[in-house]
Chain A
Amino acid sequence: MIGTGISVNSITARRRRHPLARLAVVALALGLLGGGYAVAAPSDSTADAAVASGKADDVAEGKSLFVAHCASCHGLSAEGTSMGPTLVGVGAAAVDFQVSSGRMPAADPSAQAPRKPLGEWVTPEAVRQLAAYVQTLGGGPTIPTKEMVSGGDAAKGGELFRANCIQCHNFVGAGGALTYGKYAPDLNESTPEQIYEAMATGPQAMPVFNDSVVKPENKADIIAYITQVRGQVDPGGFGLGRIGPVTEGLVVWVAGISFMSLAAIWITAKKRKRTSK
């Protein structure tokens, strides 16, 4: 999760063509300005709980990160604006999911924020601090531990995955289309923690599968199935994207029929030599 060497600047540069990008830059600049002020200004003690649990430093750091990177859309106290929802009660799990997968901060306010390379400031440390801050705002699902996302039963998970997930994410988690420009993303890059957090928090177009809908141990089962199947070597040859008959049809026409046509041309090109003449 360490920065991938692609700076925030190059991301904004790539998206510059979008008309709303200018708005986003202005909003970001204003946010930074305001954020700077907010950091400099004397703060009240909103983080009593965190202070009590000995994570006061994380919370304070998280708040300053929040003000710098998130407040322009979510509001200075995460109360939400017309550009972004409130983060009160979304929990640390939501922050970890969104920020560690690069979805937040969003590059542009389109239908859905895509997974993208992380900005330089997005270190595991920064994500933890940001999450700690948001957790203090009103609780919510917490980041799962390593034990919670491992050791599941893949076969059981497969049944749950087919019953709950594949209608959007496809049978191997290759992703699928949703309405109005939204989509269910490909799960191949998601870490086990991110999969767990997605189920717990229901990011973007996804519904929430809380612990009474899918129990924590069943979440681990689903994770086991996803990671086991995506790690599998395709026993039948090239997997063709594992999206089913569409690529198979493409292959039979592009490779099969082309090959057979070339063979036909080659065979008939061998003409008998005329004996006369």
Chain B
Amino acid sequence: MNETPKPIAGTASYLDDRLGAGSFLKRNLRKVFPDHWSFLLGEIALYSFIILLLTGTFLTFWFKPSMGHVEYQGVYEPLKGVMMSEAYASTLHISFEVRGGMLIRQMHHWAALLFVAGMMVHALRVFFTGAYRKPRELNWLIGVLLLTLALAEGLTGYSLPDDLLSGAGLRITEGVAISLPIVGTYITFFLFGGEYPGVDVISRFYTLHILLIPGILLALISAHMVLMWVQKHTQMPGPGRTEHNVVGAPFYPAFMAKAGAYFLFTFACIAGLGTFAQINPIWLFGPYTPADISAGSQPDFYMGFLEGALRLMPAWEINFLGYTLPLSVLIPALVPMGIIMTGLALYPFAEQWVTGDRREHHLADRPRNAPVRTSIGMAAVTFYGILWLLGANDEISTHFHIGLYETTIIGRFAIFLGPAIAYWITYRICIGLQRRDQDILSHGVESGVIKRLPHGEYIEVHVPPAEDIADHLRGKKQIPIVPGDEDKDGIPPKGVRGPIGKLRAKASKFYGTDHVPLDGDGHADGHGHGHDEHAAVGAGDKPRELH
């Protein structure tokens, strides 16, 4: 009964002898993965990518990446007899005549949106928990690269159907390329094979979209996963969790079941959206002609921040010796993208430089416990969010009856004030939450039991927090500060000398100073020493009587 059947045992040992699979699997199937809901967010992107590959392959069977002119003779009545590119006609064919084509096309587009959105929430989780810290900086960089490539993949895919809306996006791409000083014209002619729009761009974007970029994405995603596997996943602080272990469920069977279930959820989400929510109805947009443009032309959401930057930008332009520098296109195209992507890429290294922290970190930070990082993150989210929102300012204006110019003017102020306000609010919330944690550790939690004392006073009995909660709260770690004090000869320590060094010392102090030091053993303010009972509201005037 306990013996392995011969066909299985034979095959297994055959493979084992040749691949060494047995020991590999034995080692890796028991790999432990920590459990936290936010650790699954990255998988949204992973599974969306798999669905993108599958649905995308289906679409390539019928899509014709050609800008050759044809007369539409398909089933969609309001376009019959209209001249259009083969790319557009074949996309209409997929939508209306290929069995299941509409569903797969819609799933492909929804999966694309979910892919980028999943990457974004995953990146935010990694950022706010400090999971990019040593030894994971390189994996973080791969992630930033993946996000950038996903935008390029989205842009090329969005352009393929050659409908009026995608043409508007293509026109902006051309505008950005041609606005580059000196090389702009050359790049544009190289990209489009001559004057815009030419006859080449769709087939070129097609190759990029289905071959080059997905290939790189696949390679980088694999590297991302392997690195994560080798370096192990970070875990939230909690009972028994240290920098040297991983507490959680083994890959097989527990984590595999969860990951499998999550794939099915992702599939359900994308299939559900693809079935019930219409996306990119190209038949309504019509075929692209460079002369036509529609009100409410927007890019897909992940390009919205660039659209917003373009809409907010004043019409600045420098004319110098017959050359034009169109700042109104250059700045919005390059600056926000530069701030966000470069900022993301450099953050782990900047933080290391400021804190002087070269240690390995496997325990994640709770966002409140690194208030400056969290506030910087929220300021960046606000910056991005305002640009993104203003990318839809015409829709906001139309549907909420706000003047179009007012939205632009408000946006121009908000883009500078918003991040500052978000920084301050987030910082205060972090400090407040830290105080609350401190309060729970030193005072305990409300038990719900009201006790009447002999002299008539009512108090609420507090009990110590549950073990796991207390451990979770005590997981807060000091952020190191670079020593900046001068010695007795007035010489500052190495690394903080000179103007940049001084700046570093200041930044370090600002970044690392703990305003609410954790005092877990209940001595924080003299209350609760050795007692479980504390005065409730109303007893504040005579707390000492309790001790």
Contacts and interface: CB of A to CB of B under 8 A. Distances in A.
Secondary structure at the B interface, as helix, strand, loop or mixed, is helix
A228 B165 contact: no
Interface residues of A, number: 60
A158 B298 contact: no
Interface of A: 111, 154-156, 158-159, 162-163, 166-172, 174-181, 183-184, 225, 228-229, 232, 234-240, 242-246, 248-249, 251-253, 255-257, 259-261, 263-265, 267-269, 271-272
Contact of A167 (B280, B295, B398): B295
Given A177-B397, A236-B95, A246-B395, 17 more contacts: A154-B78, A155-B79, A155-B80, A162-B294, A167-B293, A168-B295, A171-B165, A178-B404, A179-B404, A181-B404, A228-B78, A246-B298, A249-B300, A252-B273, A256-B114, A261-B41, A268-B37
Contacts of B39: 268
A268 B304 contact: no
A238 B77 contact: no
9 contacts: A159-B82, A171-B296, A174-B296, A183-B398, A248-B279, A252-B114, A256-B114, A259-B265, A260-B114
A243 B293 CA distance: 14
A162 to B, nearest CB: 5
B324 interface: no
Interface of B: 35-41, 44, 77-82, 95-96, 102, 106, 109-110, 113-114, 117-118, 121, 164-165, 249, 254, 258, 261-262, 265-266, 269, 273-281, 284-286, 289, 291-301, 304, 392-395, 397-398, 403-405
For the residues of A in contact with B, the DSSP-based class is helix
Given A178-B404, A264-B38, A155 B278 contact: no
A267 B264 CA distance: 12
Contact of B165 (A158, A168, A244): A244
Contacts of B110: 252, 256
A29 B109 CA distance: 58
A253 B119 CA distance: 12
B188 to A, nearest CB: 24
A171 B77 contact: no
Given A181-B403, A268-B35, A236 B295 contact: no
Contacts of B38: 264
A46 to B, nearest CB: 40
10 interchain residue pairs of minimum CB distance: A176-B295, A249-B301, A236-B278, A177-B397, A264-B40, A252-B113, A263-B265, A166-B294, A177-B394, A177-B404
Contact of B296 (A154, A246, A257): A246
Contacts of A272: 249, 254
Contacts of B35: 268, 271
Given A252-B301, A260-B41, A267-B40, A229 B276 contact: no
B102 A235 contact: yes
Contact of B398 (A155, A175, A180, A225): A175
Contact of B278 (A111, A184, A235, A269): A235
B265 A260 contact: yes
Given A163-B292, A176-B398, A229-B284, A155 B82 contact: yes
Nearest to B158: A245
Nearest to A171: B294
Nearest to B103: A236
Contacts, number: 194
Contacts of A177: 295, 393-395, 397-398, 404
A272 B34 CA distance: 12
A169 B295 contact: yes
A228 to B, nearest CB: 5
Contacts of B394: 176-177
A7 B293 CA distance: 41
Contacts of B289: 162-163
A180 B284 CA distance: 28
A232 B284 CA distance: 10
Contacts of A249: 113, 300-301, 304
Contacts of A263: 262, 265, 269
Which of B37, B41, B96, B261: most chain A CB closer than 10 A? B37
B90 to A, nearest CB: 17
A257 B278 CA distance: 17
A184 B355 CA distance: 55
Contacts of B95: 235-236
Nearest to A271: B35
A264 B273 contact: no
Residue from the set A158, A174, A249, A252 with the largest chain B CB neighbour count within 10 Å = A252
